[in-house]
Amino acid sequence: MPKKSLQDVIKIKRINKDVVSKKTETKLETIEHKKSHIIYPSDIEEKEVKNNNGPRYALWFVALISVVFLLFALSFFFSKAKVTVIPKTKDLTLSENLSAIKDSNTSDLSFDLIAISGEETKTVSGGEMKDVAVNAKGTVVIYNAFSSQSQPLNIDTRLEGSNGKLYKTDAKTTVPGMAKNGTPGSVEVGIYAAEAGEDYNSAPLDFKIFGFKGTPKYSKVYARSKTKITGGLKGKFSQVSDADKNTATGDLKNVLQEKLFKKATDQIPSGFILFKDAVFLNVEDESVDYATVPGQASLSVKGTLYGFLFDEKKLTNKIVSTNVDSYDGSEVYIPKIRDLSFTLANKENISFGDVKNINFTLSGNAKVVWKVDDQKLVEDLLGGNKKDFNNVLSKYTNIASADLVLRPAWKSSLPTKKEDIKILVSYPQ
């Protein structure tokens, strides 16, 4: 085998070194390639997060759309509307001359007459003792069961009481005849005892006409007490000066009128008016009840309060039709109509118990308010569009203005159910 020269050895080594270097490079490249394909856990998590972000955003978007749709759908179930209405009004300054007929069904204005009686008493200081003689007094009803013809009776007609004592009528009167159905005619009249003294004071009695004794009329024309017979006395009693009597009597009249007015107003039916100036106290008796105690006396005032009662609606319509141009008969009211001043004409010449018609004046400031038919307004608004609200209002001449609030706010149409529309009318008080 031939020997390799040193040169050949060096060459071979150099060649081997190059081969080794290439192999090493190839191996390193392989390692690097494999290293580049290694998948670490952190890489996997990051990749999953990036891949999951898309579906997550989509789910939130769908949920948001669903909530919006749900709210929109619920708005139809919970839709509400509130309408605040200001009614039409008109201010008036009145000085109205009016007339009315009692219990009339044909007149455009009528009145009812109320009558309430009462008595007030007050103890006053008396002066020196003097002789006093006072006749007892009372009221009776005289009946005519004798004939259909009326029976006249003079003043001081004597009546024989069932207690055996005589009394006299205090006024001339006429007893009406019997009705066709046999009901006796009757009349009320005052009486007084034929003599002074306590002996004539009595509980209610039956009476005969003394002058008819021995005739058929004696049993057919008769009387019965309406009140007790009181006030009779005779003897020495403490006197009351005229000044003290007048002052005390005036106070008693005022107290009696106030009490009877309160009693009357408590009995007034709904829808009627009794003006405070439309009541009049007719004093029937002022008496002094002398006490047996020296220095004292009791004053009494008996009277009847008469009042004119008006139907509020009819009176309001009469006032408005006279003072408001082109009034169409719409339903109206006057909030403080009772504050108007009532003045009765010729009251000095009126017999309140027999009055049939009156003339009077109403004066003062008044506000006329038109009423709103809220139920009809609801029906006209049902299911309508918000933009048509003013068109609906234009049909209501009794409405000055109105404000509409819808819930939810984005709604453009009104509810379709009556109970979901609330009407608030701001009526003046």
CA distance 359 to 339: 19
Q: Which residue has the tokens 């048509």?
A: 388
Of residues 125, 118, 119, 137, the one with CA closest to residue 290: 125
72-77 contact pairs (CB < 8 A, 24+) = 75/408, 75/410, 75/411
Q: Rounded CA gap, 344 and 52, in Å?
A: 96
Taking phi first (over 0 means left), then psi (-120 to 50 degrees means alpha), and beta for anything else, what does residue 281 get? beta
For residues 319 and 362, the answer to whether their CB atoms sit within 8 Å is yes
CB 310 within 8 A of CB 273: yes
The Cα–Cα gap between 90 and 243 comes to 52
Ranges of each domain in the chain: 78-89+371-425, 130-237
Query: What is d(CA 303, CA 115) in angstroms, rounded to the nearest whole number?
Result: 10
Rounded Cα distance between 313 and 204, Å, is: 44
Note whether 323 and 96 are within 8 A (CB).
Answer: yes
Q: Which residues pair with 297 in a beta bridge?
A: 124, 290
In whole angstroms, how far apart are CA 212 and each of 96, 199, 216, 400, 415? 54, 25, 8, 75, 85
Tens digits of per-residue pLDDT, 58-71? Answer: 666 666 666 555 55
CA distances from residue 268 to 38, 50, 96, 279, 357 in whole angstroms, order as listed: 106, 88, 24, 13, 20
Residue written as token pair 């490249």: 29
Residues 31-41: tens digit of each pLDDT: 444 444 444 44
pLDDT tens over the chain, length 429 residues: 444 444 444 444 444 444 444 444 444 454 444 444 444 444 444 545 455 555 666 666 666 666 555 555 555 555 799 999 999 999 999 999 999 999 888 778 999 999 999 999 988 887 777 788 889 999 999 999 999 999 999 999 999 999 999 999 999 999 999 999 999 999 999 999 999 999 999 999 999 999 999 999 999 999 999 999 988 988 887 778 888 888 999 999 999 999 999 999 999 999 999 999 999 999 988 877 766 566 777 888 999 999 999 999 999 999 999 999 889 889 999 999 999 999 999 988 888 888 999 999 999 999 999 999 999 999 999 999 999 999 999 999 999 999 999 988 788 889 999 999 999 999 998
Secondary structure of residue 335 in the 3-state scheme: coil
Nearest to 175 by CA among 206, 209, 202, 213: 209
**Calpha distance 368→409 (Å, rounded):** 36
Please, are residues 231 and 251 in contact by the beta-carbon 8 Å criterion? no
Asked whether the beta carbons of 217 and 245 are under 8 A apart, the reply is no
| Cut 0.85: pTM above it | no
Which segments of 222-284 does DSSP mark as H helices, in order? 242-267
Tokens representing residue 279 in the block: 């009541």
